[in-house]
């Protein structure tokens, strides 16, 4: 089977894997640098809110996991012909609502986990209420923004004859960290303002 051998040769060649995956990886990396720039602007807040730094990788990770699975489910749904219009569509609403519910539950869990873990290790924590507030605000608001982006990209790509599976998840992966970090920043600002936290 010469065709199969050809395909396998390409499938296994280092060169073709690098050529296909590298450009996207570089775009993602630059996206990550923007997230890093927002994090470094938060140096003062990190000192003011002990425990904030514990939350950062956890919220970023949760956000990535939830919105990428949403993107890939939406891709499957649109391929199955379940999503053809935006308004009054139960499949679409359930997918977004399911993701947001998961974000809410996991944000509360993350806030509590971060507090308990920090205290258990004998380090200072700002308190469970503040950490849960930051996690919920950042987790749910970034989840909402990314859900809207996921829906728009998925439907837009499909209408233009592009496979959403190839576009939605990479786009969410790149935008996700920046938007989530921005929301953590806003949440920390809000919390400092509401509870008048001073270092």
Residue 186 tokens read as 């806003």
* Among positions 45, 67, 71, 99, the unique one binding other proteins when judged by CB under 8 A: 99
- Kindly write out the interface string for residues 64-83 of this chain, putting x where it contacts other proteins by CB under 8 A and - elsewhere: xxx--x---x---x--x-x-
Query: Judged by CB under 8 A, which of 6, 10, 25, 162 binds other proteins?
Result: 25
Contact present, 148 and 99 (Cβ < 8 Å): no
Counting residues that bind other proteins (by CB under 8 A) gives: 66
Nearer to other proteins, 25 or 189 (CB): 25
Report if residue 56 touches other proteins, rule: CB under 8 A.
yes
Q: 106 and 64 in contact (C-beta within 8 Å)?
A: no
Using the rule CB under 8 A, give the single segment among 37-45, 140-148, 153-161, 183-191 that binds other proteins: 37-45
Residue 187 binds other proteins (CB under 8 A): no
Q: Which residues bind other proteins (CB under 8 A)?
A: 8, 11-14, 17-18, 21-22, 25-26, 28-33, 35-37, 39-41, 43, 46-47, 51, 53-58, 60-62, 64-66, 69, 73, 77, 80, 82, 90-91, 94-95, 97-99, 101-102, 105-106, 109-110, 113-114, 117-118, 121, 123, 173, 177, 181
């Amino acid at each position: 089977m010469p065709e199969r051998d050809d395909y396998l040769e390409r499938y296994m060649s280092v060169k073709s894997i690098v050529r296909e995956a590298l450009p996207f990886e570089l775009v993602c990396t630059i996206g990550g640098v923007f997230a890093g720039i927002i994090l470094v602007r938060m140096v003062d807040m990190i000192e003011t809110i002990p425990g904030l730094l514990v939350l950062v990788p956890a919220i970023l990770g949760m956000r990535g996991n939830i919105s990428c699975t949403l993107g890939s489910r939406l891709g499957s749904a649109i391929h199955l012909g379940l999503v053809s219009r935006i308004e009054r569509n139960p499949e679409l609403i359930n997918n977004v609502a399911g993701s947001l519910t998961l974000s809410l539950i996991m944000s509360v869990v993350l806030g509590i986990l971060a507090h308990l873990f920090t205290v258990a290790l004998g380090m200072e924590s700002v308190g469970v209420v503040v950490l849960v507030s930051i996690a919920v605000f950042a987790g749910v608001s970034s989840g909402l923004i990314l859900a809207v982006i996921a829906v728009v990209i998925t439907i837009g790509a499909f209408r233009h004859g592009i496979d959403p599976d190839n576009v939605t998840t990479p786009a969410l992966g790149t935008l996700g960290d920046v938007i989530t970090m921005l929301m953590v920043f806003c949440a920390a600002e809000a919390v400092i303002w509401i509870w008048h936290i001073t270092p």
